[in-house]
Amino acid sequence: MAKAARAAKVEHMCTGCGFRTSRWLGRCPGCGEWASIVEECAAPGAADAVAIDRVPPESGERLSTGIGEFDRVLGGGLVPGAVVLLAGEPGIGKSTLLLTALDRLARQAPDRAVLYVSGEESLAQIRMRGERLSALSPGLLLRSDSSVADALAAADRLGPLVLAVDSVQTLHVAGLDSSAGSVTQVRDVAARLIEWAKRTGTPTLLVGHVTKDGGIAGPRMLEHLVDAVLSFEGDRSHAYRILRACKNRFGSTNEIGVFEMKGKGLEEVCNPSALFLAERPRGSSGSAVVAVMNGTRPLLVEVQALVADAAGGGSARRTAIGVDSGRVALLTAVLERKQGIVLSDQDIYVNVAGGATLEEPAADLAVAAALASSFRDVPLDPRTVILGEVGLAGEVRGVTQIEQRLGEAAQLGFVRCILPESNARRITGAPLELCGVGTLGAAMEALLT
Contact partner, 205, from ligand TYD, Mg ion, none, Cβ < 5-8 Å per class: none
Can you tell me the distance from the alpha carbon of 100 to that of 79, in angstroms, rounded to the nearest whole number?
Answer: 18
Binding residues for Mg ion, rule CB under 5 A, total 1
DSSP state of 53: G
Long-range pairs for 98-102: beta carbons < 8 A, 24 or more residues apart: 98/164, 98/166, 98/205, 98/207, 99/126, 99/129, 99/130, 99/133, 99/135, 100/67, 100/133, 100/135, 100/265, 100/266, 101/65, 101/66, 101/67, 101/70, 101/205, 102/135, 102/140, 102/162, 102/164
**Minimum distance between the CB of residue 257 and Mg ion, rounded to whole angstroms?**
18
Distance of alpha carbon 163 from alpha carbon 193, whole angstroms: 9
Nearer Cβ to ligand TYD, position 73 or 365? 73
Compute CA 165 distance to the chain's CA centroid, rounded to the nearest angstrom: 19
> Contact with ligand TYD (CB under 6 A): which of 57, 60, 91, 283?
91
Q: What's the count of helices (H) and strands (E) in the chain, helices before strands?
A: 12, 21
By beta carbon distance, the residue nearest Mg ion is: 95
Closest-CA residue to 303 (of 316, 293, 292): 292
Find the part of the chain contacting ligand TYD (CB under 6 A) among 88-96, 192-200, 268-276, 278-286: 88-96
C-beta separation of 126 from 142 below 8 A: yes
Which 45-64 residues touch Mg ion, going by CB under 5 A? none
Please select the residue that binds ligand TYD; options are 63, 92, 168, 409, rule is CB under 6 A: 92
Cα 141 to Cα 114: distance, rounded to the nearest angstrom: 6
Contact with ligand TYD (CB under 6 A) among 29, 56, 90, 354 = 90
Among 63, 65, 84, 95, binds Mg ion (CB under 5 A): 95
The correct pick among 62, 73, 77, 95 for binding ligand TYD (CB under 6 A) is 95
β-bridge partners, 27: 34
What is the per-residue binding string for ligand TYD in 248-267, x denoting contact by CB under 6 A? -------------x-xxx--
Piece of the chain touching ligand TYD by CB under 6 A; list 13-21, 28-36, 86-94, 299-307: 86-94
The option from Mg ion, ligand TYD, none interacting with 129 (CB < 5 to 8 A, set by class) reads ligand TYD
Contact indicator for 38, 15 with CB cutoff of 8 Å = yes
Q: Which stretch binds ligand TYD (CB under 6 A): 35-43, 128-136, 273-281, 417-425?
A: 128-136
Strand partners, 216: 210
Q: Which does 263 bind (CB under 5 to 8 A by kind): Mg ion, ligand TYD, none?
A: ligand TYD
Task: Tell me: does residue 237 bind ligand TYD (CB under 6 A).
Answer: no
CB of 401 within 8 A of CB of 431?
A: no
Question: Where do contacts with Mg ion occur on this chain (CB under 5 A)?
Answer: 95
Question: Where do contacts with ligand TYD occur on this chain (CB under 6 A)?
Answer: 88, 90-96, 129, 132-133, 261, 263-265
